[in-house]
Amino acid sequence: MSTTSQKHRNFVAEPMGDKPVTELAGVGEVLGKRLESAGFDKAYVVLGQYLVLKKNKELFQEWMKDACSANAKQSTDCYQCLTDWCEEFL
């Protein structure tokens, strides 16, 4: 497994619950605000989009780019965070 951030490890370590979108790896304050204004205020709402896109990395990264202008690293970090969380809890 590639190295992950502390934020990533913290997120994957426990159930998602009602965490804000900024708890996701790759999503800081700026992207968080953009996602919130697009209606994606909670991590579980982004998870729903991830699942709607059938866990497809390219589609998810394209969606992140369109939804909040995420760059490749940010969208990859978020994708990997959700993938690892799903492997742990779904």
pLDDT for residue 4: 87
Closest CA to 2 of 23, 25, 36, 20: 25
23-67 pLDDT per residue, tens: 999 999 999 999 999 999 999 999 999 999 999 999 999 999 999
**pTM summary value:** 0.95
Domain 6-89 of CATH type 3.30.870.10: no
